[in-house]
Amino acid sequence: MGKSFNVQCPMQIKLLYCKTKIFNIKLLSLSTTFHLQTDHEDQRRHNVELVQMQEKSFVRKEQARKDSEEQMQAQKRQTEQKKAEIDKETIRAKEKAKAEKRILLTVLTEEQNRRELKDKLQGETDKWIAAINATFSHIEGMPTDKNILWRNQNS
């Protein structure tokens, strides 16, 4: 006949007990393996999510760094433009000041030359007036009437 367990045989009870124990151990082992696999898959999924989050974080940080760098470059270019404008304005102001200085120097030189020429002409005029006065002062003592002049010659 088929397998029937007789409860009265202690050997059979021990065997049944052992088989049940083994079955429970195998079941526990399978359950543990299943749980380990499930835990492993959960851990793997968690790791994948963590890596994805880290990658997204890295991309955001890299984009923020690039944005910051672009902003700094833009500010640097703007600063250089303003500096160039200031330098250009400074050069223009210096050139204007130099031109005004040359004009003033020319005007002052012309005024000085004019004063020197005027003084020289005044000196020449005074000299000639003195010479003419000296000549006329000698002539004043001389007779000017023709008759007197002729009389003096004829006598």
Helix%, strand%, coil% for the chain, nearest 5: 90, 0, 10
What is the structure's pLDDT at 44? 87
pLDDT in tens, 80-113: 999 999 999 999 999 999 999 999 999 999 999 9
SS (H, E, C) 17-77: HHHHHHHHHHHHHHHHHHHHHHHHHHHHHHHHHHHHHHHHHHHHHHHHHHHHHHHHHHHHH
What is the structure's pLDDT at 150? 57
What is the structure's pLDDT at 23? 76
Distance CA(116)–CA(148), nearest Å, equals 48
Distance CA(110)–CA(105), nearest Å, equals 8
pTM, two decimal places: 0.43
Question: Rounded to whole angstroms, what are the CA distances from 71 to 66, 79, 80, 84, 115?
Answer: 8, 12, 14, 20, 65
What is the structure's pLDDT at 40? 76
From first to last of the 155 residues of the chain, give the pLDDT tens digit: 455 555 556 666 676 677 787 777 777 777 777 776 777 788 888 989 999 999 999 999 999 999 999 999 999 999 999 999 999 999 999 999 999 999 999 999 999 999 999 999 999 999 998 888 888 777 666 655 555 555 555 55
Question: Structure tokens of 147?
Answer: 């008759």
Residue type at 21 in one-letter notation: K
